[in-house]
Amino acid sequence: MKITDGEKLILLMLSEIYDKLGVDGEVEPDFIRSAIFSDNTWSIPWKYVGIPFEEQDTPEVVKEVLDVLDMWSMIERNYKNLSKEEKEWVEKEAAPFGKNPKFLGFDGNNESEYMGTASFLVNDLDRFEEFKGRNFNSHCPSIDSYRRMLAVFKPVLKSLNFQPLSPQNIVDILKEMVHPDNR
């Protein structure tokens, strides 16, 4: 959603009035403030789907973060459901990333737009609630690894027919965390 600077100011002032008067409406002033201050105004139509907003394109960074979160959600959920023996096999085959694989986020110094988008999706839009409470700062560059992982994950996902990831699928995806120059 494209909002002019003047409209941002008006929305922020209206949010303050809502708070001051104790208005209990459908629009959450805290969410509106958060969307404006974090420059995630694309999220307002996502939150308020009942309002007929103009059609808008989802920013590319949001699409990419959604793909990453979807991938990691499946990895974590499917890994959790493996048997002890399967987990041991994944740990060995996908070393050093196969033991209890978890989404660690994005680099706060160099990938802050990705990190902020992931945090906003989880904490403000209540998407991917399994990641709530996480820091989202991996403290190391991650997006290139995630892109390599997605290149393996997306074709696997298409072939699954709503079945879970196999231990081999999980290994194949996790192995992409290792840079090709270090294999």
In a domain, 52, yes or no: no
Residue-wise pLDDT for 110-163, tens only, equals 999 999 999 999 999 999 999 999 999 999 999 999 999 999 999 999 999 889
> Could you tell me if residue 53 is inside a domain?
no
Structural element, H or E, at residue 124: none
What are 106's strand-pairing partners? 137
State pLDDT tens for residues 15-53: 999 999 999 999 999 999 999 999 999 999 999 999 999
What pLDDT, on a 0 to 100 scale, did the predictor assign at position 72? 98
Are residues 144 and 71 both part of a single domain? yes
Range of the domain at 175: 60-182
- As for how many domains the chain has, the answer is 2
Q: To which residue do tokens 């298409």 refer?
A: 158
Query: What's the CATH code of the domain at 177?
Result: 1.10.3190.10
